[in-house]
Structure 1
Amino acid sequence: MLTAFARAFKTPDLRKKLLFTLGIMVLFRLGAHVPVPGVDYRNVQMCMDQTKSGQGLFGLVNMFSGGALLQITIFALGIMPYITASIILQLLTVVIPRLEALKKEGQSGQGKITQYTRYLTVALAILQGTGLVATARSGALFGGCTVGNQIVPNQSIFTTVVMVVTMTAGTCLIMWLGELITDRGIGNGMSILMFTSIAAGFPTALWAIKLQGNLMGGWLEFSLVILCGLAMVALVVFVEQAQRRIPVQYAKRMIGRRSYGGTSTYIPLKVNQAGVIPVIFASSLLYIPALLVQFTGSKADWAEWIQRNLVKGDHPIYMVTYFLLIVFFAFFYVAISFNPEEVADNMKKYGGFIPGIRAGRPTAEYLSYVLNRITWPGSLYLGLIALVPTVALVTLNANQNFPFGGTSILIIVGVGLETVKQIESQLQQRNYEGFLR
């Protein structure tokens, strides 16, 4: 593998792409430490030392921003507005016929959808930036911090507008950097920046586990977490690469004196067809009632029930609800992202068929049957992986930023596998030898 790394840097154009990607990643991490104008950075650091409340309610957004959210920097919103906009546009494509028609137009239609995604990203960034500034001004961002309401000393309208515009511009800059990586670097730019944000929190989280440990100065807990992490990575790689291959045979066709077709191929149906989207959906949905209680400040019975059962991640009701939502959204997202009838119609149009299955409606029914069967283990796997940080919080007495589990490990392994495949394909074009033997 080290030889393959050396070979990758010896190839001039590949070396240029790798260095360009690394440079953008460094620039992205630098921006995550530049404070927004109008924020008292000393009070922010004091509140981060006093409390860890932001890890629960704002944990997902803080993870995707690489810790920049709680520090209120220019990249505080991170890549989250773009992810949300992309998911919304993907869902609307199924509902709105105009967007579905654009998707089928090829590159020009995809360019229009990308343009709509950018506009929606800016709108969401303004909305989320306003919410973040309001939360920081009220002191709710760090619940229990003695100087929480002094994070933004100047609460004039001008200062608020400057802060929101700065964070929105930071999100637009992140979006541009991601597109630069996609065009001139290696891998998908947004995925690489997401990978960078999550990986940036790993050293701090691992060292915090060591400091909180009691056995052998914390080194025993640290070693157990590392071993557990390696096992988790192996499991995620195994399941993410697992797929059910549906054989497809294409009949021979005579056009003039030449025969076409007669080839055999397959339809790869992944066990985890939905990816990490169900976990993000479930987390976002569970944050809504907690945010509602926090912003309204209600003392009613329903508000106390939410605070007691749906805010703390280690509560049994929270864990069961989170697990069931992930399973539901896994089936929901697979249903809207993979259309068996469309696949069956395309196969019939080009003379393809599944051996033993009639073309048309029987093929669509067979694909739906297989997809439902493999989605069950995929959804259960997602739910169990997402609960790993909560279980670790209870058993190992670790902090809530337990790195090996949940959304973080799924994204890191997924992006790592895709990036390695891209590097491997470019190496094989020159050396006829893969990145990993």
Structure 2
Amino acid sequence: MGSSKTHELRNRILFTVFMLAVYLLGKSILLYGVDTSDRSGMNGQYMVTMMFSGDRYHNTLMALGIMPYINASLLVQIITAFRSSDARAKISKQRSDRWMFITTVVIAAFMAVIQSADVSLLPGAGPETIVRGVVMLEMFAGAMITYFLCMKNEDLGVGASMPIILVNILTSLAGSISANHFFRYPRLMVVCAVVVAATVFMENSIIKIPLQRVSIHNIHADQNYMAYKRNPVGIMPVMFATVAFVIPRYFVRMLTLIFPENVRLAEIRKDMVMTKPEGIAIYLVIVVVLSVAFSFIMLNPMESARQLQRNGDSIIGVYAGEKTKKYLVSLVWRLSLVSGLLQAAGMALSLIMVLRGEVSLPLAMMPSSAMILVSIICSTAQEIASYRRYDAYKFFF
């Protein structure tokens, strides 16, 4: 009887490397008829979303990048979370994947229409309507390729969509650091260092809620607990705040296409940027609101309380039922609010520098990029550690 190792970690890392190679290849394929010398896309809106989009100037096959996928993922999770526990139990993996696919198609098509209208075309590329149609289809195709890469990486690789976001962040950071002379701004460097340290602590720190389980009566009974991270949903609020901030801009842009002569719409679109106090305030409020909202949607403390009562378990020192629900709701509320405020504060420090004219917006986005980067690294490291432990087992057959 021999033994064999699964090499699960090695196989998953190799697949993720392959997935990233395909994605990077797509980033090197230029869209047909697009003027690559035009840099007008390098404005505040695109700097905010550059970590999610495929390229800086939106002129390659991966122009939409991962935004349709992550938006679809978020919507499906929210819809699922609002269903009852019995209804969620009946949702199969195939059904959930079908919802993801349909939602991604709708979002990718909408974004392709809006984004293709903003690119500059070469004069001799052909009739403008046809060329823009081709560009729109190419953008849509790139978004769907990214969707399939993420779905396959979720099953066969490491980190699902996180490696693509990591690549985009590293690309944007490298460009911003070299082009904007990051090391000439010691205050911004201090802000980034503080943000990184706080994110590492929050990502690797948990609060243990001791449980009394009726089915466990042994020497390990006192080791049962519920665990909540100090930032309950990680860096999701910062990631999706950037998306939520530009969604209204997409709709305003669509209205300007329908009503090109409307001066007021053009002014509103111009004012929806993060270089003005109003835009910054809206962005920071979105971060805090999403932190609280995502925490209640993903953790669902009311459902956790019902499950504990249904199983006959309880939190030590807290009565089951309504008391447990109030305790968990209060805990999630405090954790999410503090986490959101800390994340917003880290962003506020750098964005205030923009208002004062001390740094440019690309540099001001460094703290948010650093938060997301560190969060991805921590979560990926934890996933890799779990696969390594799996590989440590020897299977006999």
Q: Do they fold alike, i.e. is TM over 0.5?
A: yes
| Structural mapping, 1:13-412, within 5 Å | 14-39=9-34, 43-44=35-36, 46-48=37-39, 51=40, 54-67=42-55, 70-95=57-82, 101=86, 103-105=88-90, 109-136=92-119, 148=120, 150=122, 153-185=125-157, 187-210=158-181, 220-221=184-185, 228-252=191-215, 262=221, 264-291=223-250, 293-294=252-253, 295=256, 296=259, 298-300=262-264, 304=267, 307-308=270-271, 310-311=272-273, 313-393=274-354, 394=356, 396-402=358-364, 404-406=366-368, 408-412=369-373
Q: Distance in 2 between the 1:156 and 1:305 partners? A: 27
Q: CA–CA distance in 2 between the matches of 1:76 and 1:151?
A: 21
Give the distance between the partners of 1:342 and 1:293, measured in 2 at CA.
Answer: 38
Q: TM-score, normalised by structure 1?
A: 0.77
Q: Aligned pair in 2 of structure 1 residues 426, 326: CA closer, same or farther (>3 Å)?
A: closer
Whether the aligned pair in 2 keeps the contact of 1:273 and 1:334 (CA below 8 Å) is yes
1:206–1:403 CA contact under 8 A, matched in 2: no
Which residue of structure 2 aligns with residue 143 of structure 1?
none
Alignment match, 1:139: none
C-alpha spacing 1:372/1:58, structure 2 compared with 1 (3 Å): same
Other-structure match for 1:145? none
1:260-310, Cα deviation, whole Å (9 max, x unpaired)? 99454111122222333333454344334544555255334x8646744x4
What letter corresponds to residue 153 of structure 2 in structure 1? I
Q: Which AA in structure 2 matches 1:383? A: A
**Cα drift, residue 252 of structure 1:** 5.0
What is the aligned-residue RMSD (CA, Å)?
3.2
Secondary structure of the structure 2 residue equivalent to 1:63:
coil
Separation in structure 1 between the aligned mates of residue 123 and residue 374 of structure 2, nearest angstrom: 36
> How far is 1:377 from its partner?
1.0
Q: Please say if residues 180 and 363 of structure 2, whose CA atoms lie closer than 8 Å, have aligned partners that are also in contact.
A: no
Helix, strand or coil for the counterpart of 2:161? helix
Provide the rounded CA distance (Å) in 2 between the counterparts of 1:55 and 1:306.
Answer: 12
| Structure 1 Cα separation of the partners of residues 32 and 71 of structure 2 | 26
Q: CA deviation at 1:319?
A: 2.0
Contact preservation (8 Å) 1:385, 1:405: yes
The DSSP-based 3-state class of the residue aligned with 2:30 is coil
- Give the distance between the partners of 1:12 and 1:261, measured in 2 at CA: 32
Identity of aligned residues (%): 23
- Alpha-carbon separation, structure 2, partners of 1:386 and 1:293: 25
TM-score, normalising length: structure 2: 0.84
| Matches of 1:391 and 1:152, distance apart in 2 | 44
1:399 positional shift: 4.6
C-alpha distance in structure 1 between counterparts of 2:381 and 2:243, whole Å: 30
Q: May I ask how many residue pairs the two structures share in their alignment?
A: 383
**In the alignment, which residue of structure 2 is the partner of 1:8?**
none
Distance 1:336 1:431, change over 3 A: closer
Alpha carbons of structure 1 residues 290 and 169: separation in structure 2 relative to 1, 3 Å: closer
CA contact (8 A) 1:247 1:355 kept: yes
Contact in 1 for aligned 2:54/2:62 (Cα 8 Å): no
Matched-pair contact (CA < 8 Å) for 2:73–2:100: yes
**d(CA) in 2 for partners of 1:272, 1:152:** 53
Partner of 1:4: none
The structural deviation recorded for 1:244 is 2.3
- Is the alpha carbon distance of 1:269 and 1:172 closer, same or farther for their aligned partners in structure 2, counting shifts above 3 Å? same
- Following the alignment from structure 1 to structure 2, what is the Cα–Cα distance between the partners of residues 152 and 245? 65
Unaligned runs of 5+ in 1: 1-10, 137-147, 214-218, 433-437
Aligned position for 2:3 = none
Query: For 1:273, what is the secondary structure of its paired residue?
Result: coil
Deviation readout 1:343-364 (Å, 9 max, x if unpaired): 1221122221111111111111
1-structure distance, mates of 2:145, 2:46: 22
Name the SS for the 2:51 alignment partner.
helix
Q: Is the 8 A contact 1:202 1:403 kept in 2?
A: no
